[in-house]
Structure 1
């Protein structure tokens, strides 16, 4: 039996309730041996629920809307009143829960991508554009590239926050996470006509992410000598708030893939393709300045 489809703009109808949407998926899930797929698929929601409890969000855990297991992750809706706490402290606590598990396990490490969004969705099935966009954000190039470029020993979670959540929750001052802890990125997905402004938050940055300026705010303050020399060194990379100004160095805006190395005033990037929001588009190796000068 066919279901009649409502015609858009034909009449006014009630707007579905606004729901926060949270989704995660596991890095390299398909690369696991088939025998581990089932256990890891069941483990991910357990770790998320453990983090919800530790973050004081037991109400969210018990009142999930349209929860679903996606195989390599989960998605669920929740009352948007809890959005500030899902941003902080939940993302930090989830990173800690993953870190503790990864230190103790003899099995595969669980490293997650997470996305947060909000919009009108029916509780019955959760179908709608906001949910679709939540999954697109999760699959977007920047969040995948950041997790791939970081240390598996330290960085267990990479979160992407929608622009709507960023504006309402972070810029609105409703959460404990300062906006300067997030980096603006153009969220695009290979093979999809999806492009949105979004914001990356890495609770535990590591390795090249530290060199590139993705640091917690309290750790990112340069020493006094470096501050004094800013005007004398116009080619140094500087990070202010949500904008990176780079003369020579590395800016995490757009796509990053493969190995990413930054040392002093020279950069080396090795991958088959390099994609940036603007500037050079280089295939192969790129060296800026004199790579041997600081050797």
Structure 2
């Protein structure tokens, strides 16, 4: 008896996936959902242009609107620029928006970056690009650890939290293609309850540069000081004064993508 087996198929091209969503979007009145959704796209688009990525932003391989954010497919070659300078430029754009709307609750965003093979149909960019890599990008956004990172730092200072997959960290950050030093990231475990998602990832708050620990690592007690409580978030107890100086010191000066 001959057993049948599945045929191999071509591997789709690798895509960089950038996903964004807004903190506490569902707590907003329904009457402002549409304008907030438009504001998210506008502020991210402006930050992408500031980073020299306008051509890639304007012609993505796919774009999926989620209401409180989106996922977009981009060429892997720009991954270093999605790590630096884009996050700081987005932080600055959000700070500028906050300054222009002093009576409003600040718009705060979670951002995830991943890479992997995804099929796309150029004729249908809004309904294509589906696959495991895109699912994982959304799971990174939904992980408790990135939600806690924004919850446990000043809402007036930290307006963006960035989480990247271990693959992106190894290839782009540790590979030193991105200008941002590896010590600006904190090693975390991204978990989403009920989804079977439990993966290593790396967390960064642009408003809190550098590794935010005196010693040890997130989620562990300092054996030299066992009576000291461990923060629930790796960013709890950040130096807000330093972050404020960074935040109000003007636009980040790292260069954008060269063409």
Tell me which interval the TM-score lies in, with the shorter structure as reference length. 0.7 to 0.9
Task: Give ranges in structure 2 of 5+ residues lacking alignment.
Answer: 122-127, 239-259
Q: Contact 1:238–1:244 at 8 Å: present in 2 too? A: no
2:202 match: 199
Q: 2:180 aligns to what?
A: 177
| Unpaired segments ≥5 residues, structure 1 | 1-8, 206-214, 222-236, 263-295
Mapped to 1, the partners of 2:88 and 2:9 lie a distance apart of: 39
Q: Deviations over 1:146-176 (max 9, x none)?
A: 1011111100000101000000001111010
- Within the alignment, does 1:238 sit opposite 2:215 as a pair? yes
Shift in alpha-carbon separation, 1:111–1:164, aligned structure 2, 3 A: same
Q: Would you say 1:216 and 2:210 are equivalent positions? A: yes
Verify the 8 A CA contact 1:18 1:118 in the aligned structure 2: yes
What whole-Å deviation, never above 9, does each CA across 1:235-291 have from its counterpart, x for those lacking one? xx5158x99772334556xx649xx679xxxxxxxxxxxxxxxxxxxxxxxxxxxxx
Query: Given the two structures, how large is their TM-score scaled by the length of structure 1?
Result: 0.70
Residues 251, 186 of structure 1: CA spacing in aligned structure 2 closer, same or farther, 3 A cutoff?
A: farther
Residue 47 of structure 1, aligned match among 30, 35, 43:
43
Shift of 1:51: 0.2
Match of 1:18 in 2: 14
The answer to whether the 8 A contact 2:16-2:74 is kept is yes
Identify which of 47, 55, 58 aligns with 2:54: 58
**What is the aligned partner in structure 1 of residue 34 from structure 2?**
38
Matches within 5 A, 1:1-295: 10-105=6-101, 106-124=103-121, 125-205=128-208, 215-216=209-210, 237-239=214-216, 246-247=222-223, 248=225, 249=228, 256=233
Pairwise CA distance, 1:216: 2.2
Q: Aligned-pair distance for 1:74?
A: 1.2
Measure how far apart 1:108 and its partner are.
3.4
Instruction: Give the 3-state SS of the residue equivalent to 1:169 in structure 2.
Output: helix
Question: What is the deviation of 1:45?
Answer: 0.5
Cα offset for 1:107? 3.3
CA contact (8 A) 1:184 1:243 kept: no
Q: Deviations over 1:172-201 (max 9, x none)?
A: 110101111000001001222100000001
What secondary structure is seen at the aligned counterpart in 2 of 1:192?
coil
Query: How many residue pairs were aligned?
Result: 223
TM-score by length of 2: 0.80
**Rounded Cα–Cα distance in structure 1 between residues aligned with 2:66 and 2:136:** 15
